[in-house]
DNA sequence: AACTCGGGGGG
DNA sequence: CCCCCAGAGTT
């Protein structure tokens, strides 16, 4: 009985707040599972402001799951360029093909079926199932962790398996069974715009009297998170070849690491900062320059430091102007057709080919 | 359980 | 420098 009442009050307060404060976002004007799915994948670890233009561009180019399924992966990656976490794009495309060609175009319509899609985990399956199909499955994203940790004063680390279970269970107890779609979206919106990570607006918060963290003065200490390892330094030396017939060399990144299936200039990678002389020798001896006559120059004397969550890339670009043609080159005039990492894209934009 | 996977923005 | 973001997959 106490739980029932608590739940009632929580949702009443939340839904009132939401109806007064919700942003008008394009994916709130539809329950088309394809569009909701697309929005959820784009918004994984990505703020609305950053993801919004990509959502519009994807729907413009791929209005339905069939359009997406029939595209080449290279097209999908090109449209995803700049958004990061490129496995999302590869998995999105793979799942579109699965839906279009193996499920006959019928979009999975429940949590368990949705979970079978590549790139769809507990959060995304819950979001689509609740928003599109009114299934009572609570979402637990970064916003929900924060709101619940503060309101209920829970200090279990949110990025531990214990925390994941605990918060999922709590959210599932709190969710409004009559309107799971509205509950899920409301609690996330509340976390995103009011119960923010920094400087939450507690003075105007409708949950203030019931919020355990506020009443103990520990809002800033919650949620608790296990610290991530510090970023590692790596040293990237790219070889920008320019042939005498307007071509350069781009290589597709293979394998499991960062930027899988994106393109880059030939790369010499090292864990330590090699001495200039050693580097120069390596660049000159690189396979793509073998048996060629060229003039080598270092584009940036000071390293460009490209910062990612888990590694800092200290980068130099070497320009090799060839008095020759090259094998397997790509026209510099078509360089913008290739999906490249931001680090490469910035160079291409700045460098005057 | 720990690690990997991007890039942008805020303090 | 630190933090976070409508997380998921791999080891």
Give residue A327's pLDDT: 87
Give residue A263's pLDDT: 98
pLDDT at A1 over 70: no
A294 and A265 Cβ atoms separated by less than 8 Å:
no
Number of domains in chain A: 1
What digits encode the pLDDT tens for the residues A69-82?
999 999 999 999 99
For chain A, the average pLDDT equals: 96
For the CA of A241 and the C1' of C3, the distance in angstroms is 39
Considering Cα of A206, then A207, then A209, then A213, what sign does the dihedral take?
Answer: negative
Burial class of residue A261 in the structure, from the number of CB atoms within 10 Å of its CB (0-12 exposed, 13-18 middle, 19+ buried) = middle
In chain A, count H helices and then E strands: 14, 9
Structure tokens at A302: 């000071």
A40 in catalytic set: yes
A309 CB-to-strand B distance under 7 Å: yes
A275 CB-to-strand B distance under 7 Å: no
- What does each C-alpha distance from A167 to A135, A187, A225 come to in angstroms? 18, 13, 13
Round to whole Å and give the CA distance between A223 and A142. Answer: 10
Rounded to the nearest 10 degrees, the angle between the axes of helix A180-193 and helix A142-151 is: 80
Structure tokens at A241: 């070849």
Q: Which nucleotides of C are covered by protein (CB under 7 A)?
A: 1-11
Nucleotide closest to A144 measured between CA and C1': C6
Q: Is residue A273 part of a domain?
A: yes
Mean pLDDT score, A74-93: 98
**CB count, 10 Å around CB of A281?**
12
For the CA of A87 and the C1' of B11, the distance in angstroms is 30
Q: Which domain does A311 fall in, by range?
A: 232-350
Q: What is the CATH number of the domain that holds A287?
A: 3.90.79.10
Mean pLDDT score, A291-299: 93
Considering Cα of A161, then A162, then A165, then A170, what sign does the dihedral take?
Answer: negative
Round to whole Å and give the CA distance between A52 and A39. Answer: 8
Q: What letter would DSSP give residue A247?
A: E
Q: Is residue A208 part of a domain?
A: no
A122 CB-to-strand C distance under 7 Å: yes
Q: Which of residues 13-42 of A touch strand C (CB under 7 A)?
A: 25, 27-28, 39-40
For the CA of A45 and the C1' of B9, the distance in angstroms is 13
Q: Is residue A185 part of a domain?
A: no
What digits encode the pLDDT tens for the residues A210-269?
999 999 999 999 999 999 989 999 999 999 999 999 999 999 999 899 999 999 999 999
> Lowest-pLDDT range, A25-29, A159-163, A271-275?
A271-275
For the CA of A244 and the C1' of C9, the distance in angstroms is 44
pLDDT at A176 over 70: yes
Q: Which nucleotides of B are covered by protein (CB under 7 A)?
A: 1-11
pLDDT at A208 over 90: yes
pLDDT at A7 over 90: no
Share of chain A above pLDDT 70, in %: 100
Q: Is residue A308 part of a domain?
A: yes
- What does each C-alpha distance from A341 to A119, A132, A281 come to in angstroms? 20, 34, 26
What digits encode the pLDDT tens for the residues A100-134?
999 999 999 999 999 999 999 999 999 999 999 99
pLDDT at A54 over 80: yes
Give residue A233's pLDDT: 94
Q: Which of residues 8-67 of A touch strand B (CB under 7 A)?
A: 45-47, 49-50
Q: Is residue A123 part of a domain?
A: no
Q: Is residue A179 part of a domain?
A: no
Give residue A117's pLDDT: 98
For the CA of A191 and the C1' of B10, the distance in angstroms is 16
Give residue A353's pLDDT: 87
pLDDT at A4 over 90: no
Q: Is residue A11 part of a domain?
A: no
pLDDT at A16 over 90: yes
Q: Is residue A153 part of a domain?
A: no
Mean pLDDT score, A260-286: 93
């Amino acid at each position: 009985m106490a739980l029932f009442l608590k739940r009632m009050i929580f949702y009443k307060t939340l839904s009132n707040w939401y109806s007064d404060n919700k942003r008008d976002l394009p994916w709130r004007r539809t329950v088309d599972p394809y569009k909701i799915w697309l929005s959820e994948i784009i918004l994984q670890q990505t703020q609305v402001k950053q993801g919004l233009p990509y959502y519009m561009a994807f729907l413009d180019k791929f209005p339905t799951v069939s359009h997406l399924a029939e595209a080449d992966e290279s097209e999908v990656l090109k449209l995803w360029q700049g958004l990061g976490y490129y496995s999302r794009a590869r998995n999105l495309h793979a799942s579109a093909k699965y839906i279009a060609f193996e499920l006959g175009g019928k979009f999975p319509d429940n949590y368990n079926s949705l979970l079978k899609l590549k790139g769809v985990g507990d959060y995304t399956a819950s979001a689509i199932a609740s928003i599109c199909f009114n299934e009572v499955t609570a979402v637990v994203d970064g916003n929900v962790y924060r709101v619940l940790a503060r309101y209920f004063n829970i200090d279990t680390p949110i990025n531990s398996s214990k925390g994941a279970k605990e918060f999922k269970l709590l959210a599932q107890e709190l969710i409004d069974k009559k309107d799971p779609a509205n509950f899920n979206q409301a609690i996330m919106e509340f976390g995103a715009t009011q119960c923010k990570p920094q400087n939450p607006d507690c003075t105007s918060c409708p949950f203030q009297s019931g919020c355990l963290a506020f009443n103990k003065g520990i809002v800033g200490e919650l949620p608790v998170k296990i610290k991530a390892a510090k970023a590692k330094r790596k040293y990237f030396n790219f070889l920008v070849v320019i042939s005498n017939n307007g071509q350069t060399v781009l290589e597709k990144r293979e394998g499991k690491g960062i930027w899988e299936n994106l393109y880059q200039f030939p790369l010499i990678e090292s864990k330590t900062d090699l001495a200039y002389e050693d580097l120069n020798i390596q660049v000159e001896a690189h396979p793509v320059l073998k048996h060629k006559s060229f003039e080598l120059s270092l584009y940036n004397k000071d390293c460009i430091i490209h910062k990612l969550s888990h590694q800092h890339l200290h980068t130099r670009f070497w320009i090799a102007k060839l008095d020759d043609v090259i094998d397997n080159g790509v026209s510099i005039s078509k360089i913008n057709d290739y999906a490249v990492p931001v680090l490469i894209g910035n160079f291409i934009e700045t460098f005057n080919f």
